[in-house]
Amino acid sequence: MSDFASALDLAQAIARREVSAEAVVRRAVEAALNDPYAAFTRVFASQAIAAAQAVDRAEVAGPLAGVPFAVKDLFDVAGQVTTAGAKLRQSAAAAPQDAEVVRRLKNAGAVLIGTLNMDEFAYGFATVNAHFGTTKNPYDPARLAGGSSGGSAAAVAAGLVPLTLGSDTNGSVRVPASLCGVWGMRPADGTVPLDGVFPFVEMLDTVGPFARSSRDLRRLYEVISGTAPQGDGPPLRVAKLGGFFARDAALEAVNAVEVVMAHLKSDAVVPLPQAEGGRSAGFLITAALGGALHLDTLRERANDYDPAVRDRLIAGAMLPAGVLARALDYRERYRRIFAELFETYDVLVASATPCAAPRIDESTILIDGKPASARTNLGIYAQAISLTGAAVISAPLRTTGLPIGLQFITRPGHEGRLFDLMHRMEDAGVLGFTAPGGGA
């Protein structure tokens, strides 16, 4: 896809007949079949080429007509088994129809290429999958791509496809977007349908898009949400989140936030002492509800799970009901506390991950000055935001080093103004994708 600056440019070129959709899709299929990063789990070559030919015959139209996309392997695709990254689901019944967001993208003319790797059942921040392999970071294949939507982020960063979908429960879009240097989004709760998406923790699950530019991300969000968020308005009031969101940050994460705040000419800092509790509550809710969802299957087929995922699910299922009740109560209080911040500020900024991508052979990162599991803790800052229900864009800092992303957080209904800010900062060269190897 490197011949075009963006998915929108590609769509326009196809519409003007400067390039055929079939040629574009054949290149994407070939790239996916020869994927060196373990990003793809399946490639739908014949179906994709047939869909592209329909675009070229003008039988299909739309704002993304002919543009290739791929989805995390927990979205239903008609006629295919939704594995959710798990070996034990490979014998499940095929999905009778596409997930609603897949249907919306196809209706917009986009062409589905295949499914993408993930942590088993979306439980992890690394995309280390015992059955489908570890997804490698296109910037350095010795490093993690992040997770659980690692295949989705890596496929975009590597230029295999220009657009992908993932899911974000506790940071599963924002973490890999940060580590792979692409744009990602956790939409506000309830704004994108979850029909046909294999659940992890339904009250926290969201569908999230990935792209190489903020404008591509906006168009993809518009298609899957069925909305066109409006911008304009008075100047945005921006503050960075302090305390918890800086405590375990590596130098690259600290510097990224400082670069952005300097560009925005803001030195406002918002203390949020409840953030650690918010992260802990999310951790407990995830463990308890995720464990409960899998309990019957665990009793029958525990050995078919990835051992690292199995043990966490069992531990969650064993949590006392009172622990879950207290975590849910805290969630409601935390959401109210967080919403009050938007009475003073329009956008809150924090690092998306505490560090750049760790090496695959280094299973820990530093948390509270001690080695801690990367698979569990790369999402420490993202998880503290998930409970709030806010809209969050993960934006890559323009850098010549390893990628690092930032969370830009706003209240539901203000997505248009947030996208406008992202466009301005991308145009100014502060934020933006840089291809692996330093290309455009």
Which residues are the active-site residues? 72, 148, 172
Consecutive H or E run containing 395: strand 391-396
Nearest to 238 by CA among 214, 266, 270: 266
CA 2 to chain centre: 22
Please state, in angstroms and as integers, the Cα–Cα distance from residue 92 to each residue in 95, 120, 370, following that order. 9, 15, 41
Spell out where 44-153 has E strands. Answer: 68-72, 111-116, 128-129, 133-134, 136-137, 140-144
Cα–Cα dist 421/238, whole Å:
11
Are 393 and 407 spatial neighbours (Cβ–Cβ below 8 Å)? Answer: yes
Q: Kindly compute the dihedral angle of the four CA atoms of residues 70, 73, 76, 80, in this order, to the nearest 10 degrees.
A: 90
CA atoms of 20 and 406, how far apart (whole Å)? 36
C-alpha span between 176 and 127 (Å, rounded): 9
Terminal Cα distance for the chain, rounded: 11
Residue 28: helix, strand or coil by DSSP? helix
The per-type count for the chain, helices as H runs and strands as E runs, is 15, 17
Q: Which of 169, 138, 188, 137 is nearest to 416 (CA)?
A: 188
Phi and psi torsions of 155, nearest 5°: -65, -35
